[in-house]
């Protein structure tokens, strides 16, 4: 896994941790496409196709990841070979417990919930981890818009 698309959830304008994660990955030999803040899911997937990404890493700092990812499963189904989807950061705000938010996030279609930059590296390097060199839209799919410790809190 060497090509990664990163971006913040659609309602999240925080970018410092995203930039830190980009630099962290680049120092370790990854090619990173940083889409920045407020990225619609459709754009993330479209750019992942164009970039031939091996993973999509979504950052969340404002605590509204659950709302921003409600269409994730449907969008993923529109691609034959969706790369693994990672998320890190502050997933929920208010009375919602972080463990509950994580379960909901996974149910929405996220493959890995991260707690650190290092955790991404350990998963990316794991034997048998899902690796692909390309991702293309499925024939009948929809038309098609991280993680850092700072993304983690």
CA 25-125-45 angle, 5° bins: 60
Is residue 118 domain-resident?
yes
Is residue 149 domain-resident?
no
d(CA 25, CA 22): 5
Whole-number CA gyration radius for the chain: 14
Is residue 148 domain-resident?
no
Query: Model confidence over 39-63: pLDDT tens digits?
Result: 999 999 999 999 999 999 998 877 7
pLDDT exceeds cutoff 50 at 125: yes
Query: Model confidence over 2-31: pLDDT tens digits?
Result: 999 999 998 888 888 899 999 999 999 999
pLDDT band of 146, cuts 50, 70, 90 = very low
Query: Model confidence over 72-82: pLDDT tens digits?
Result: 999 998 887 88
pLDDT exceeds cutoff 70 at 144: no
pLDDT exceeds cutoff 60 at 141: no
Mean pLDDT of 145-150: 36
CATH of the domain at 69: 3.40.50.280
How many CB atoms lie under 10 A from the CB of residue 94?
5
In which element (H, E) is residue 77 found? helix 72-77
Is residue 145 domain-resident?
no
3-state secondary structure of 79: strand
pLDDT exceeds cutoff 80 at 83: yes
d(CA 83, CA 1): 10
> What does the pLDDT read at residue 31?
97
In which element (H, E) is residue 78 found? none
The more confidently predicted of residues 34 and 130 is 34
Is residue 76 domain-resident?
yes
The more confidently predicted of residues 152 and 55 is 55
Number of domains present in the structure of the chain: 1
Query: Alpha helix locations (H) across the chain?
Result: 16-27, 41-51, 65-68, 72-77, 98-107, 117-124
Is residue 120 domain-resident?
yes
């Amino acid at each position: 896994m060497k090509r990664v698309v990163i971006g913040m959830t659609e309602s999240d304008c925080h970018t410092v941790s995203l930039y830190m994660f980009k630099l962290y990955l680049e120092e370790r030999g990854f090619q990173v496409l940083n889409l920045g803040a407020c990225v619609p899911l459709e754009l993330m997937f479209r750019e992942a196709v164009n970039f031939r990404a091996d993973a999509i890493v979504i950052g969340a700092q404002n605590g509204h990841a659950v709302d921003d990812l409600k269409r994730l499963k449907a969008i993923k189904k529109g691609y034959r070979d969706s790369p693994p989807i990672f998320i890190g950061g502050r997933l929920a705000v208010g009375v919602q417990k972080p463990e509950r938010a994580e379960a909901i996030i996974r149910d929405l279609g996220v493959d890995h919930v991260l707690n650190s930059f290092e955790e991404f590296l350990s998963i990316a390097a794991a034997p048998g981890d899902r690796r692909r060199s390309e991702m293309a839209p499925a024939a009948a799919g929809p038309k098609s818009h991280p993680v850092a410790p700072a993304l983690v809190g």
